[in-house]
Amino acid sequence: MKESKGGIYKKFFKRPMDFILSLIAIIVLSPVLLIIAILVRVKLGGPVLFKQQRPGFNEKIFMMYKFRTMTDERDENGELLPDSVRLTKFGRFLRSTSLDELPELFNILKGDMSIIGPRPLLVKYLPLYNEHQKRRHEVRPGLSGLAQVSGRNAISWEDKFNLDVNYVDNVSFMNDWKIIFSTIKKVFVREGINSETAATMEPFKGDLYK
């Protein structure tokens, strides 16, 4: 059976493109990365990087890197305060401009992630996915993806998963570059950063109709 153009791109060209683009971006943006790191250290304290395990391709767990955007403020019982309290004005700026995501370029360079793909979510969500939702892990997770340029945190979990699977079924060079250009536009417009009811996306609680 003849392999489709999308299949050839996915198999032979997507990973080399990711490596080259992430390497170029790291070199070009190195002054920006340094300045942000200094500002995070001064305004939010250490550590500068937020590190968290996330599921990647075929649900393989990897350590994802982002710039820190929240303080470690806790209540009298030692429990972390809500995200809306710990997310500072500076942290909101980093998120609204997606500058907090820049360290993920190193994840792309390593091969944990791709430039474009479904966003890597929390490990604790893995047992909650139905068979349709699990398909988001058939490709490497991305720095940006179809769901991000279609609403990011402002859309429902159901819509987000449907967009992720739609991307998995339609991986191609043209689709990836359309999403890349749409991502650049979204960053400048700062659309869809927060959901309507929270500072960050509400937790995924599972599909009741598995």
Q: Annotate 82-120 with DSSP letters as a single string.
A: PHHHHB-HHHHHHHHTTGGGTTHHHHHHHTS-EEESSPP
Position 87 scores a pLDDT of: 84
| Residue 165 covered by a domain | yes
Is residue 94 packed enough to be buried (19+ CB in 10 Å), middle (13-18) or exposed (0-12)?
Answer: buried
| Residue 193 covered by a domain | no
| Residue 196 covered by a domain | no
Mean residue pLDDT of the chain comes to: 87
Number of domains in the chain: 1
| Residue 206 covered by a domain | no
Pick the residue with more confidence: 97 or 207?
Answer: 97
Position 70 scores a pLDDT of: 87
Nearest-CA neighbor of 119 among 106, 95, 101, 103?
101
Nearest-CA neighbor of 83 among 95, 71, 96?
71
| Residue 18 covered by a domain | yes
Position 138 scores a pLDDT of: 96
Position 60 scores a pLDDT of: 97
Q: Quick check: helix, strand or coil at residue 51?
A: strand
Helix/strand/coil percent split, the chain, to 5: 55, 10, 35
| Residue 133 covered by a domain | yes
| Domain, as residue range, for 48 | 8-73+83-188
pLDDT tens per residue across span 126-162: 999 999 999 999 999 999 999 989 876 678 899 999 9
Contact 14, 176 (CB under 8 A): yes
pLDDT tens per residue across span 149-208: 987 667 889 999 999 999 999 999 999 999 999 998 887 776 654 443 444 567 888 864
| Residue 15 covered by a domain | yes
Name the percent of the chain lying above pLDDT 90.
63
| Residue 170 covered by a domain | yes
